[in-house]
Amino acid sequence: METITFKIDGRNCTAKNGQNLIEAAKQNGIIIPTLCHFKHLNPLGSCRVCTVKNNGKSVAGCIVKVAEGMDIEVQTPELIDARKAILEMMFVEGNHFCPSCEKSGDCDMQNLAYETGIRYARFPHLFEDKIVDARPERIVVNQNRCIKCQRCIEEVKTKDGYKVFQLINRGNKTRVAIDYEQEAKLSAAQANHAMEICPTGAILVKGKTFSKPFGDRAYDNKLGLKNISANKLKKQPTNGTKKRIATTSLAGCFGCHMSLLDIDLDILDMVELVEIHKSPLTDIKKFNKRCDIGLIEGGCCNTENIEVLREFRKNCDILISVGECAVWGGLPAMRNTIPLEACLNEAYLNSMTSEEGATTIPNHQDIPKILNKVYANHDVVKIDYHIPGCPPSANHIWSVLKHVLFEEEYSIAFADFKYD
């Protein structure tokens, strides 16, 4: 096949005429991110994460065949933002709870979210109720995590060549369906392959999901930028005045506060430079001074959370959502797929710990009213920064604080993004 030359982001590249762009780019040392493209499969063009510009026109990179003189753009600010937006839409469309996901650390989508710098989604989460199908013989398919990339449909076949998966329905009702009869014919290795080629945690093999321990997972040890020691704080000038911080926990578990305290002895440096005002750490209950920063743990699940959050917005120059619950609702938001009445019945009437024959769901004027769903803080007030993690590491919280308070360079190691 004839060799041609073309450009990617202004760089001269060579490839075989008609070669797939993703593969041709890879041969030239350029990675075009994708979630649906898979080695030998015909281009699926389904995830659109690989969107590039071909001679100025936006197109899914995986369906482009390279030709002489092509001018491809991949890493322009516009395309990077479009790629992030596509990924963010995948996150809000599904129900992704990385801290409790079996595929965390081995998940292509999670890794790509880290690589593209997604810290939170700019779109509201849909929290749709989706099926977790455990009926198949060997696998479980969790529709909450499926991005409909179609890899499984093209790749997973029985030894007689029958497909196990297919797409059914249309529009936003589209989902992957399983042919149970064919699935039962998969060997253990074929079932494992299905789990591996799924770029998310949508396909899991029964009894195998945690067989690869954390620490040995594909993306566990991939380090990002350099780390900064909290000791650097000693060099910061205070000019005699301390910066003032307030903290609160809304619908959270206090894990993020514990993480903040995890800075151990560096806390002595911190108190030299920072005064902690209203906070569960100081037990100061009311704002009587304006604060530079408000750290918010947890999202909003009841009317009191909303009130406290608004009070923080009023009294703090900068508001920071700390941890997954604050950033998008987190684990408490798992109830968002279930009607409120069913949640209350389960909690107060039908749970294993309810009193026999219980008929009362607490409802008193002094008890904050529970909201129809759990809201991310930025759905309620303007949030200036988001710190992801469950809980974020002490080092991560510290890095952000130093950046915001003292304009210190923000740099955080990949390993310090913590979801445990």
Q: CB under 6 A: which stretch of 145-153, 229-237, 318-326, 395-403 binds ligand SF4?
A: 145-153
The answer to the question of residue 96 lying near ligand SF4 (CB under 6 A) is: yes
Report the residue from 50, 74, 79, 97 that binds ligand SF4 according to the rule CB under 6 A: 97
Report the residue from 148, 373, 386, 396 that binds ligand SF4 according to the rule CB under 6 A: 148
**Beta carbon of residue 102, minimum distance to ligand SF4 (angstroms, whole number):** 7
Q: Is 329 left (phi over 0), alpha (psi -120 to 50) or beta?
A: left
Report the residue from 19, 51, 54, 110 that binds ligand SF4 according to the rule CB under 6 A: 110
Report the residue from 24, 74, 79, 152 that binds ligand SF4 according to the rule CB under 6 A: 152
Q: Is 81 left (phi over 0), alpha (psi -120 to 50) or beta?
A: alpha
Structure tokens at 306: 């909303």
The answer to the question of residue 327 lying near ligand SF4 (CB under 6 A) is: no
Q: Which residues contact 200 (CB under 8 A, 6 or more apart)?
A: 94, 96, 103, 107, 108, 109, 110, 145, 146, 147
The answer to the question of residue 249 lying near ligand SF4 (CB under 6 A) is: no
**Beta carbon of residue 209, minimum distance to ligand SF4 (angstroms, whole number):** 11
The answer to the question of residue 257 lying near ligand SF4 (CB under 6 A) is: no
Q: Which 8-state DSSP code applies to residue 295?
A: E
Report the residue from 22, 32, 50, 146 that binds ligand SF4 according to the rule CB under 6 A: 146
**Beta carbon of residue 30, minimum distance to ligand SF4 (angstroms, whole number):** 24
Q: How far apart are CA 21 and CA 4, in angstroms?
A: 12
Contact 286, 262 (CB under 8 A): no
**Beta carbon of residue 103, minimum distance to ligand SF4 (angstroms, whole number):** 5
User: Which H or E element spans position 139?
Assistant: strand 139-142
User: Position of tokens 């977790």?
Assistant: 132
**Beta carbon of residue 142, minimum distance to ligand SF4 (angstroms, whole number):** 8
Q: How far apart are CA 107 and CA 162, in angstroms?
A: 27
Per CB under 6 A, which of residues 376..395 are in contact with ligand SF4? none
Distances (CA, A) of 338 to 46, 147, 327, 345: 29, 21, 20, 11
Nearest to 304 by CA among 382, 251, 229: 251
Count residues near ligand SF4 (CB under 6 A). Answer: 24
Nearest to 372 by CA among 341, 345, 349: 341
The answer to the question of residue 98 lying near ligand SF4 (CB under 6 A) is: yes
C-beta neighbour count of 341 within 10 angstroms: 9
The answer to the question of residue 49 lying near ligand SF4 (CB under 6 A) is: no
Per CB under 6 A, which of residues 332..351 are in contact with ligand SF4? none
**Beta carbon of residue 23, minimum distance to ligand SF4 (angstroms, whole number):** 20
**Beta carbon of residue 330, minimum distance to ligand SF4 (angstroms, whole number):** 12
Q: Which residues contact 181 (CB under 8 A, 6 or more apart)?
A: none
CB closer to ligand SF4, 103 vs 335: 103
Contact 360, 192 (CB under 8 A): no
The answer to the question of residue 256 lying near ligand SF4 (CB under 6 A) is: no
**Beta carbon of residue 49, minimum distance to ligand SF4 (angstroms, whole number):** 12
Report the residue from 8, 139, 147, 263 that binds ligand SF4 according to the rule CB under 6 A: 147
Report the sign of the C-alpha dihedral through residues 315, 316, 321, 323, in that order.
Answer: negative
Q: Is 241 left (phi over 0), alpha (psi -120 to 50) or beta?
A: beta
Q: How far apart are CA 243 and CA 277, in angstroms?
A: 10
**Beta carbon of residue 356, minimum distance to ligand SF4 (angstroms, whole number):** 37
CB closer to ligand SF4, 68 vs 137: 137
Site string (197-216) toward ligand SF4, x via CB under 6 A: -xxxxxx-------------
The answer to the question of residue 228 lying near ligand SF4 (CB under 6 A) is: no
Q: CB under 6 A: which stretch of 74-82, 147-155, 218-226, 265-273 binds ligand SF4?
A: 147-155
Which residues are at the interface with ligand SF4 (CB under 6 A)? Answer: 96-98, 101, 103-104, 107, 109-110, 145-152, 176, 198-203
